[in-house]
């Protein structure tokens, strides 16, 4: 049995195509947003999005709970159970959808006063909060269909809709800014395109499952308790993740100031490039673990976790190290000297991503098995630590202290609590696991640092920064290919991407 998820090659290729399009859109559009809105306007945009994203938590973890249920029943060949899962999830999410709309209206009242906005910015902030809240009210129940596609391991379909949405939003933002539009026009375009993407996922999921009747007859009360029980702990984990990833900008705005929030938001986007790069390579291990545990129990997941961890570290660590080395020249080339104070923020946040990558696949495996309580509690502890340390260190050291708080909280919880627990649950030796990681990655880290330090001092401008990043990552991966990957794994990777078949065809043609 292969440790890789079903359709993994297709999932990986489309996932990285999605990340590539999103990263390119971020690189191109962020300077346009900053220049078109001004630093204060961009700060309002970043803060409004951060606040509204909290309302997504009113989905209460049902997306992941639905994904796990769909994957479980698909592994058992029970399509009627999948239809009941969809109908039950949509029905239960209608109430949270109403609460999201209500939360948006409350946000309208408090947002301008909370950040002491002027009259013009306050009116725009109120309108975009209402528009985004309406989007959430529609997307919360319809996200059930995206979760269904994930449970069927059809991430390729989800990724295709995300690529189309990103391109359409990017084009819309460009047109709005060129025509002199402001925050309200940007929000309107964003929501219109987002709703189109949601509708596309509803259509495709309904076609794959076949006849999904959203009627009271298909609402299964027997599924309410298992779905709600799992979703409650997924909600706790999601809440903690949002606090960790989004609360920092709010803390900066409250403790340090709105202009500094804009600097932190840009640095955060840069540091999250590594996070966005490695997560798509591991996301499909969640429904894979749910399917395998339904068929054969937890005993088959150990090689799955080992393979997924090697993949996540092989993608995340070279990128994190590159961001750490090139933080200052990258920010300067991307958005200018005004944001150079964000370089230490990039360093600390990239290091936090490297820590999270170590436990990512193991946590997904536990969640796929139905063990969702413990990871959720650990996430909650991390969020609390992050918040406490952010306020304390932020008031003393500014935005650098807030980023350092994120790194400290991740190191304490992921390395000190989560990693030993998941090793015990999966029957892995903690020390053997850590030694395997160090043996495979210490040499490439050392080689990349030795090569990257002189590169950092001589790169100026976006082309030079990109060339330097490619050089550092290439050195890391070349060394890792020799010391961290055995022959069987190299053969498996080549086979997954068709390299061996292409070579065989070439040899036949040459003969």
Determine the Cα–Cα distance for residues 392 and 384; give it in Å rounded to an integer. 12
Q: How far is CA 184 from CA 124, 131, 404, in A?
A: 6, 9, 34
Q: Where are the domains of the chain?
A: 1-219, 251-498
Q: How far is CA 12 from CA 204, 260, 311, 417, 471, in A?
A: 20, 36, 11, 30, 23
Residues 6 or more apart whose Cβ sits within 8 Å of residue 127: 183, 184, 187
pLDDT confidence of residue 492 = 58
Q: Is 182 helix (H, G, I), strand (E, B) or coil?
A: coil
Residues 6 or more apart whose Cβ sits within 8 Å of residue 122: 111, 112
Determine the Cα–Cα distance for residues 317 and 376; give it in Å rounded to an integer. 25
Which pLDDT band holds residue 308 (cuts at 50, 70, 90)? confident
For residues 297-314, give the mean pLDDT: 79
For residues 203-208, give the mean pLDDT: 85
pLDDT confidence of residue 353 = 92
For residues 431-448, give the mean pLDDT: 87
Q: Does 500 have pLDDT greater than 60?
A: no
pLDDT confidence of residue 125 = 76
pLDDT confidence of residue 55 = 65
Which of the pair, 284 or 502, is modelled with greater confidence?
A: 284
For residues 320-336, give the mean pLDDT: 86
Which pLDDT band holds residue 122 (cuts at 50, 70, 90)? confident
Q: What is the pLDDT of residues 333-379, one digit of tens each?
A: 887 777 777 888 999 999 999 999 999 988 888 888 888 888 889 98
Q: What is the pLDDT of residues 222-254, one digit of tens each?
A: 877 888 778 888 888 877 877 777 677 778 877
Q: What is the pLDDT of residues 413-438, one digit of tens each?
A: 999 999 999 888 888 888 888 888 88
Q: Among 55-69, 94-108, 407-421, which range has the highest average pLDDT?
A: 407-421
DSSP string, 326-375: HHHHHHHHHH-GGGGGGHHHHHHHHHHHHHHHHHHHHHHHHHHHT--HHH
Q: What tokens does 64 get?
A: 């992941």
Question: What does pTM read for this prediction?
Answer: 0.72
DSSP letter at 3 equals S
């Amino acid at each position: 049995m292969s440790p890789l998820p079903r359709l993994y090659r297709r999932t990986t290729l489309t996932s990285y195509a999605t990340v590539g399009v999103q990263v390119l859109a971020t690189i191109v559009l962020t300077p346009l947003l900053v220049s078109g809105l001004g630093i204060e306007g961009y700060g309002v945009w970043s803060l409004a999005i951060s606040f509204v994203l909290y309302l997504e938590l009113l989905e209460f973890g049902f997306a992941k709970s639905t994904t796990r249920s769909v994957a479980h029943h698909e592994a058992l060949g029970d399509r009627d159970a999948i239809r009941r899962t969809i109908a039950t999830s949509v029905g239960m999410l209608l109430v949270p959808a109403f609460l999201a709309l209500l939360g948006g209206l409350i946000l309208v009242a408090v947002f301008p006063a909370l950040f002491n906005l002027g009259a013009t910015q306050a009116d725009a902030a109120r309108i975009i909060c209402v528009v985004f809240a309406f989007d959430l009210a529609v997307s919360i129940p319809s996200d059930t269909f995206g979760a269904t596609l994930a449970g069927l391991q059809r991430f390729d379909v989800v990724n295709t809709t995300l690529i189309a949405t990103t391109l359409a939003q990017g084009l819309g933002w460009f047109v709005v800014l060129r025509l002199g539009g402001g925050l309200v026009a940007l929000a309107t375009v964003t929501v219109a395109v987002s709703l189109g993407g949601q509708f596309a996922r509803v259509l495709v999921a309904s076609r794959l499952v076949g006849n999904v009747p959203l009627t009271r007859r298909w609402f299964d009360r027997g599924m309410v308790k298992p779905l709600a029980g799992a979703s409650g702990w997924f909600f706790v984990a999601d809440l903690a993740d949002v606090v960790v990833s989004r609360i920092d900008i709010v803390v900066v705005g409250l403790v340090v100031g709105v202009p500094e929030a804009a600097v932190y938001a840009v640095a955060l986007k840069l540091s999250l490039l590594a996070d966005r790069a490695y997560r798509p390579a591991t996301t499909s291990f969640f429904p894979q673990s749910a399917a395998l545990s339904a068929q054969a129990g937890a005993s088959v997941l150990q090689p799955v976790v080992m393979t997924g961890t090697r993949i996540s570290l092989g993608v995340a660590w070279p990128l994190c190290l590159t961001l750490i080395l090139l933080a200052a020249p990258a920010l300067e080339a991307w958005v200018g000297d005004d944001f150079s104070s964000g370089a230490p923020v990039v360093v600390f946040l990239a290091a936090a991503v490297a820590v999270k990558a170590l436990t990512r696949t193991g946590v997904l495996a536990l969640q796929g098995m139905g063990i969702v309580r413990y990871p959720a509690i650990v996430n909650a502890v991390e969020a609390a630590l992050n918040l406490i340390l952010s306020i304390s260190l932020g008031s003393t050291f500014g935005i650098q202290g807030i980023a350092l708080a994120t790194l400290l909280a991740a190191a304490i919880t992921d390395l000190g609590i989560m990693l030993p627990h998941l090793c015990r649950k999966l029957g892995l030796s903690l020390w053997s696991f850590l030694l395997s990681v160090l043996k495979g990655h210490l040499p490439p880290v050392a080689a990349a640092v030795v090569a990257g330090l002189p590169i950092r001092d001589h790169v100026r401008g976006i082309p030079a920064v990109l060339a330097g990043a490619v050089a550092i990552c290439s050195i890391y991966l070349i060394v890792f290919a020799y010391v961290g990957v055995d022959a069987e794994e190299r053969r498996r990777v080549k086979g997954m991407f068709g390299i061996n078949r292409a070579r065989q065809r070439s040899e036949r043609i040459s003969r």
